[in-house]
């Protein structure tokens, strides 16, 4: 589709996205994607997950840097950077009840917090690992990739004369797809960009799948391959409605990303800070010579500010999701049933 230079425009993009994002073709692609996830996770930690991530993560970084360098050369890049890097503080302060929960949901999703991924992966680390250092590296690298994505997206949109105000799937799969189609060699560059997005999605799906697979292996006694296949098929079936109608993307995303992730983080913070504080301090002290008062300060930060903030965020997101259920989703049900 991206290779059809000039046929995929800002005007036609929304309709074309709706066509390719749903239906039988989308279900088939969903099956292919899940088959890739199942195959990698079924191979195990070293031969599957570790090997694939060692390839995928550096590829994402290198391709992102290359695309950002190309975007720097585009006409209007300076205006794009000014738009991207000049926050409107008045908007942030006036609409914080919308912006803050959305930002928190994004942070929880992109860092795989609240879904057990960090716990599962940490269980495979050596006892001498510095958890504080690892956390800093992970958060820094994640922020770098997100920042670099902005250095790619906004110059491309500005160069093509497309409004950058969209967000989520409409920004990536509609606005950016249309923008690439307007640029020289846009078909090739767009293919590279969306291949990077696919790699990132695959790496995320692998980590999420490993959480439930590890549980079935460690707690229920299943072998890796049967557990992976069974869970992969179940996830495919649950995801199929989203491949048939985009309303289910909003339904799933709003519940899982905006509520469940932060609710999981809230329960985890309560458990770590109030149920097993001694164990938490012992674990965070491994790999660090002397946590001292810093460890105690971290514990109380988790106990009070983090817990209070997460309670507020869960409540705000639950209210927004209720609005979606009684609004857009209710309208969809009325129109289809």
Q: What is the pLDDT along the chain (337 residues), one digit of tens a residue?
A: 444 444 555 555 566 666 667 889 899 999 999 999 999 999 988 788 888 878 888 888 999 999 999 999 999 999 999 999 988 888 888 888 778 888 888 888 888 888 888 888 888 877 788 888 888 998 999 999 999 999 999 999 898 888 776 655 666 777 787 788 778 888 888 888 888 888 888 988 998 899 999 999 999 999 999 999 999 999 999 999 999 998 999 999 999 988 999 999 999 999 999 999 999 988 888 777 666 788 889 999 999 999 999 999 999 999 999 999 999 999 999 999 8
Whether 18 is in a domain gets the answer yes
Whether 276 is in a domain gets the answer yes
Spatial CB neighbours of 232, under 8 Å, sequence gap ≥ 6: 34, 35, 37, 38, 41, 209
- 16 and 142 co-located in one domain: yes
pLDDT recorded at residue 102? 82
- 127 and 214 co-located in one domain: yes
Whether 195 is in a domain gets the answer yes
- 284 and 150 co-located in one domain: no
Token couple for 177: 């797809």
With CA atoms as reference, report the closest residue to 76 among 155, 189, 180, 185: 155
- 268 and 230 co-located in one domain: no
- 61 and 163 co-located in one domain: yes
Q: Is 153 helix (H, G, I), strand (E, B) or coil?
A: helix
The total of structural domains in the chain comes to 2
Half-sphere exposure of 26 toward its Cβ, with a 13 Å CA cutoff? 17
Whether 335 is in a domain gets the answer no
| Domain housing 295 | 246-328
- 223 and 271 co-located in one domain: no
Distance set, CA 215 to CA 116, 189, 267 (Å): 10, 40, 18
Token couple for 20: 């390719």
d(CA 168, CA 166): 7
pLDDT digits (tens, 9 = 90+) for 279-293: 998 888 877 766 678
With CA atoms as reference, report the closest residue to 70 among 201, 190, 173: 190
Q: Is 235 helix (H, G, I), strand (E, B) or coil?
A: helix
Q: For residues 55 and 224, is the Cβ–Cβ distance under 8 A? A: no
- 281 and 238 co-located in one domain: no
């Amino acid at each position: 589709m991206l290779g059809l230079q000039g046929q995929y425009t800002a005007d036609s993009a929304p309709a074309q996205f709706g066509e390719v994002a749903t239906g039988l073709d989308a279900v088939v692609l969903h099956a292919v994607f899940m088959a890739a996830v199942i195959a990698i996770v079924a191979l195990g930690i070293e031969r599957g997950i570790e090997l694939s991530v060692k390839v995928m993560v550096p590829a994402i970084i290198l391709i992102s840097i290359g695309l950002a360098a190309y975007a720097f050369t585009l006409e209007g890049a300076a205006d794009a950077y000014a738009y991207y890097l000049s926050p409107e503080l008045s908007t942030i302060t006036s609409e914080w009840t919308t912006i803050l929960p959305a930002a928190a949901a994004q942070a929880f999703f992109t860092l795989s917090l609240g879904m057990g991924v960090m716990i599962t992966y940490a269980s495979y680390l050596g006892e001498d690992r510095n958890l504080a250092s690892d956390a800093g590296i992970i958060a820094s690298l994640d922020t770098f990739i997100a920042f670099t994505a902005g250095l790619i997206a906004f110059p491309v949109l500005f160069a093509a004369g497309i409004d950058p105000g969209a967000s989520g799937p409409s920004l990536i799969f509609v606005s950016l797809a249309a923008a690439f189609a307007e640029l020289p060699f846009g078909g090739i560059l767009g293919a590279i960009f969306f291949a990077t997005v696919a790699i990132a999605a695959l790496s995320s799906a692998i980590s999420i799948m490993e959480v439930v697979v590890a549980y079935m292996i460690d707690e229920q006694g299943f072998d890796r391959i049967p557990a992976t296949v069974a869970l992969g098929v179940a996830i495919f079936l649950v995801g199929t409605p989203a491949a048939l109608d985009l309303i289910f993307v909003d339904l799933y995303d709003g519940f899982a990303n905006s509520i469940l992730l932060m609710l999981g983080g809230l329960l985890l913070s309560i458990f770590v800070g109030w149920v097993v504080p001694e164990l938490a301090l012992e674990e965070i002290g491994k790999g660090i010579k002397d946590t001292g008062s810093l460890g105690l300060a971290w514990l109380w930060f988790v106990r009070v500010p983090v817990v209070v903030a997460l309670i507020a965020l869960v409540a705000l997101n639950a209210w927004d999701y209720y609005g979606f259920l009684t609004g857009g989703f209710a309208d969809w049900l009325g129109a289809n049933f």
